[in-house]
A and B are shown apart, each in its own frame.
Chain A
Amino acid sequence: DGGITQSPKYLFRKEGQNVTLSCEQNLNHDAMYWYRQDPGQGLRLIYYSQIVNDFQKGDIAEGYSVSREKKESFPLTVTSAQKNPTAFYLCASRPGTTRDEQYFGPGTRLTVT
């Protein structure tokens, strides 16, 4: 099956710990995105990457970090510097530099206590 996978579906962490969310795609897409969604809200862009070894900050990048060492993978690390990390995190991808639709993973719900 082609698509985007995110793991795990649910993640629990203690405050002060870094945590890495996985995002993998086998769609051969160049561009990948990370969004944060809070209850009843829309999506806010954290980071995006248009090609391997390159990524750009989105609107709410503080307290997050990413890497793009492989085309298929775009992991997101939520660091202890992120003041309010509990949220639903969505990864997406789309082909090359076209401005067409994005394909979304199922999301990871992170709870930090």
Chain B
Amino acid sequence: SQQGEEDPQALSIQEGENATMNCSYKTSINNLQWYRQNSGRGLVHLILIRSNEREKHSGRLRVTLDTSKKSSSLLITASRAADTASYFCATDGTGGFKTIFGAGTRLFVKA
């Protein structure tokens, strides 16, 4: 089952522009995480936001969480060609230890 659903499925922007990806989920969560995956590689953790937090920053990344709407967004500012990758949101529920991943947003940054 997939709890996190990302939107859009694919995004193409010019270098220097901002990229925004959204994630929606269905059940109560303990935290929400964003991961990045370069083609053919493993996932790399980017940022984790807990259910009692509303916004978090890490370098050029900004994540927001709205638990009332069961949604999160990931903003990458001043994008670079090296940001080209797939981005996944993942949620940990309030019960159990399974992390559920969405289908991902494929970001392409043109130089």
Contacts and interface: CB of A to CB of B under 8 A. Distances in A.
A100 B88 CA distance: 15
B52 interface: no
B59 interface: no
B30 interface: yes
Interface residues of B, number: 26
Interface string A47-74: 0101000000011000000000000000
B97 A43 contact: no
A18 interface: no
Given A59-B1, A99-B30, A99-B31, A104 B101 contact: no
Given A104-B42, A107-B40, A48 B102 contact: no
B61 to A, nearest CB: 14
Nearest to B2: A42
A21 interface: no
Interface of B: 1-2, 4, 30-31, 33, 35, 40-45, 48, 88, 90, 92, 97-104, 106
